[in-house]
Amino acid sequence: MQYDELMKKCIKLAKQGEGFTAPNPLVGCVVLDKDGNEISTGYHHKYGENHAERDALLKLTDGEEKGGTLIVNLEPCSHFGKTPPCADLIIERGIKTVVIGMADVNPIVAGNGIRKLQKAGIKVIENVLEGECKKLNEVFIKNMTEKKTFVAIKTASTLDGKIAASNGSSKWITSDKAREEVKKIRNRYDAIMTTSSTILADNPTMLHRKKIILDRALKTNLEAQIYKDGEIYLFNTTLDMFEGGINFIKTPVINEKLNLEFILKKAFDLGIKSILVEAGSHLNGEILKYTDKIYHFIAPKITGDNSSLSCFDFRKIDNINDSFNFKIVQIDTFEPDILLTYYPISK
């Protein structure tokens, strides 16, 4: 049997948990009976709740899964955590074949789930659509393998790469459709990050459950729109306390700028496993070397103004070969705008 389409369904199911499963991965599951008929699906809804395999199997009460096949995009867990081991339940339910998209990079699992299934006499088929499965859980993979927060940038520009007019005017470069997609992108990340400059210029709301504000000299008004919801982490150079619902975090400075390496490490220690940066050209540029992914919306407009603000403005180079290099992996259309999604080739 070809399992590609069923694995794609697992990935689609898994995406329903976006924004709710961290620090756990996104996982979806499909169960077939012994004749190859689909009889159940499941996914990991929320951190602390049932994993995808358990979600799918516990919907079945008449033993129809016995001798059947279970398809899942990530190796079943083999240890007790918030829930019991999925591998044990799969064995108990009499599943004959397990199809896996990718091995788990969590060292607690890391092949142990596969070995447990095989020891119980279950046939295990590995690495089905492995590349797509790894892309789905790129945040989890970085968290586990590097012990670092995954960083993405969202920016929006004109065709000539401008994010605002010379006087700072930037509303609105892109269309309503593009801005609706931004809301969906935000939901995939544990926190959004911006700067005092962006707050002072635009007074954005940026609705999200967690927000990281970089305000070195505490210039922003704490009554600004952005402070009205969510957990706030305010990185600055003077205060280190919790007050008025805001976590003030004293931060070291490098070249008169807040130390980004310190901020990203602190974020990881605080349990923030992924960050979406929504800021101006200077932070976009400075954080580029730590960035794993970029969402770049482009509107079919040209300013033609050399003094207009650009997407990434943080240095001067004399040789074009000193540019940062990226690989564009996806192009989407949100009429009349497009969204380029790209990854750094090297950092």
Q: Report the CATH number at residue 63.
A: 3.40.140.10
The per-residue DSSP string of 203-267 comes to ------SEEEEE-TT--S-TTSGGGGSSEEEEEESS--EEETTEEEEE--EETTEE-HHHHHHHH
User: Is residue 170 domain-shared with residue 284, that is, in the same domain?
Assistant: yes
**What's the pLDDT score for residue 1?**
64
- How crowded is residue 95: how many other Cβ atoms within 10 Å of its Cβ? 25
**What is the CATH number for 325?**
3.40.430.10
Q: 20 and 139, same structural domain?
A: yes
**53 labelled catalytic:** yes
Same domain, 223 and 296: yes
139 shares its domain with 166: no
Q: Are 73 and 195 in a shared domain? A: no
A 10 A CB-CB count for 291 gives 19
The first and second tokens of residue 69, run together, are: 């096949």
Within this chain, do residues 72 and 33 fall inside the same structural domain, yes or no?
Answer: yes
Catalytic residue (one of 18, 38, 53, 231):
53
Regions in the chain scoring below 50 on pLDDT: none
pLDDT of residue 204: 87
pLDDT at 81: 66
Q: Are residues 98 and 158 in the same domain?
A: no
Q: Which one of 98, 122, 144 terminates a domain?
A: 144
Q: What is the pLDDT of residue 305?
A: 75
Model pLDDT, residue 83: 74
Residue 166: the pLDDT is: 64
pLDDT of residue 309: 77
Q: Are residues 95 and 211 in the same domain?
A: no
State whether 175 and 80 are in the same domain: no
Q: The domain containing residue 26 runs over which residues?
A: 4-144
Q: Which residues pair with 211 in a beta bridge?
A: 192, 232
Q: Are residues 181 and 261 in the same domain?
A: yes
- Tell me the three state secondary structure of residue 159: coil
Q: What is the pLDDT of residues 89-133, one digit of tens each?
A: 999 999 999 999 999 998 877 788 999 999 999 999 999 999 999
Residues 179, 254 within the same domain: yes
C-alpha distance from residue 132 to each of 14, 52, 57, 68, 144 (Å): 12, 18, 24, 24, 18
CB 71 within 8 A of CB 29: yes
Please give the pLDDT value at position 106.
87
Domain-terminating residue out of 144, 163, 184: 144
Tally of structural domains, the chain: 2
Q: Which of 115, 144, 173 is the last residue of a domain?
A: 144
Q: Starting from the edge strand earliest in sequence, which strands make up the sheet with 150-157, in order?
A: 241-243, 246-250, 231-236, 210-214, 191-195, 274-277, 150-157, 293-298, 337-344, 326-334
pTM of the model: 0.90
Based on the fold, state whether residues 96 and 209 are members of the same structural domain: no
